[in-house]
Structure 1
Amino acid sequence: MRHGRYPFIVGFLIAPVSIYVTFVIAPYVQAFYLAMTNWRGVSANAKFIGLDNFERLLQDDVFWKAIRHHGILLLVLPLVAIAIALFFAFLLNVGGGSKGGMMTGVWGSKFYRIVFFFPRSSPS
């Protein structure tokens, strides 16, 4: 490693890291602070109550039902989408069987490949 390389790299990282901290990390910190108060969003005074809101949240049945539904969507939807994509890829590549020792796709698969990979013009 050459001397003076790290200050150069750090100099280029200052702007993106500061933007990330300002627009991503700081809102999370502010939201967590607000979650530890009893502020309803109407008045200007907020009383700090600590983790009581989270304790109530963990005892709420509706919260756990929502977590379950989100978990199902988070796991099932990507798996179904990947399975459908793999099925169509299989059909386009080898679903038609073999002709002359080479695997071919279903009828019209060459047309679909051309349409899919054909360059599109950007809308203006």
Structure 2
Amino acid sequence: RGAKGLERRASRARQTASTDIAVCILDSGVRRTHPLIEPALAVEDWHTVKPAWGSDDTPAWSGHGTRMAGVGLYGDLVPLLVGGDPVPLPFRLESVRILPPEDEANDPELYGSITAEAIARAEVQAPERRR
């Protein structure tokens, strides 16, 4: 139970041969070290539009980006939680933090350019990757 049980379940997650496909999460950041996320999110695929914010998820957004990454990666968690078989991960994750800490706000006039910059950061990192 607890952290050890989660780590044991996470150890069953396996990248499939097709890791050139990615789902890119544009959100509050992703907690890359979460045991269920780490197998699919490499450090080089973990970005932010503003370096001072960092790439990690933030309590200001209640872990929203990490949760969205989990839903995107696993969908239904029941097979992972109750089964014993390997869990295939058919793609990798990319994350670009676009949401600021709680003491800052993005200017609504810049939402489009912030989104475009986030997409560009992922594309520059891995231009040949399918998303």
Is TM (by shorter chain) over 0.5? Answer: no
Task: Decide which structure has the larger Cα Rg and report it.
Answer: 1
- Larger relative contact order (C-alpha < 8 A, sep ≥ 6)? 2
Q: Which has the higher helix share?
A: 1
Q: TM-score, normalised by structure 2?
A: 0.18
Q: TM-score, normalised by structure 1?
A: 0.19
